[in-house]
Amino acid sequence: MRAAFDLRARIKTLETQCEALVGKSRIAQLIDSIPGYGLVCSTELAGELGTIDRFATEASLAVYTGMANLDNSSGNFRGSKNPKHVNTRAKAAMMVGVDRHRKMIPESQQYYEKKRAQGKSHNQAIRALGRHLCRVIFRMLKQNRPYEVRAPDSLKKV
């Protein structure tokens, strides 16, 4: 029982430290504005990314976070392969954040369900959604803008 109490106290201390770090990092603040990306995912992803200037395109960010595969096509063969230089901590933070995000945003949930209906596994569908979120994150960080949730009325065409 004492060990569980000590663990809870340690977790609370780490969460307090994460909150302080989010206040110092603009990247963490922007990522934290995405629904579903909690304090831990935001700080870990911000820490692993460092600066968005490291990435020339959103595609390179997607490969770095493990949300995109590399083309492995040759001649008549069409295929892809997993990149070897993926930041596993950033990938783990993205996978957790994307899964939580899809549960909070109806459009993301619909996209996830579409991928599942196409026969994709849960992780494949999450990575496909994560690939889209990499585009959003890249633009957010480049333009220094927080995530914006569109109101349902603005989604309808007049």
**77-96 confidence digits (pLDDT tens):** 565 656 667 889 999 999 99
pLDDT at 23: 76
C-beta neighbour count of 69 within 10 angstroms: 15
pLDDT in tens, 34-73: 999 988 888 889 989 989 999 999 999 999 998 987 655 5
Quick: pLDDT tens for 122-150.
Answer: 999 999 999 999 999 999 999 999 998 87
Look at residue 109 in the predicted model and tell me its pLDDT.
95
- Cβ atoms within 10 Å of 101's Cβ, excluding its own: 24
39 vs 25: CA distance, rounded Å: 12
For residue 92, the model assigns a pLDDT of 93
CA–CA dist 21, 30 (Å, integer): 13
Distance CA 40, CA 48 (A): 12
Strongest mean pLDDT among 15-19, 143-147, 153-157? 143-147
Buried b (16+ CB within 10 A) or exposed e, 130-142: bbbbbeebbebbe
Among candidate residues 130, 122, 118, 116, the one with its CA nearest the CA of residue 86:
130
The CA-based angle 18-136-41, given to 5 degrees, is: 20
Q: How far apart (Å, rounded) are the C-alpha atoms in residues 137 and 56?
A: 13
Of 135 and 18, the one with more pLDDT: 135
- pTM here? 0.80
At residue 158 the predicted structure's pLDDT band, cuts being 50, 70 and 90, is very low
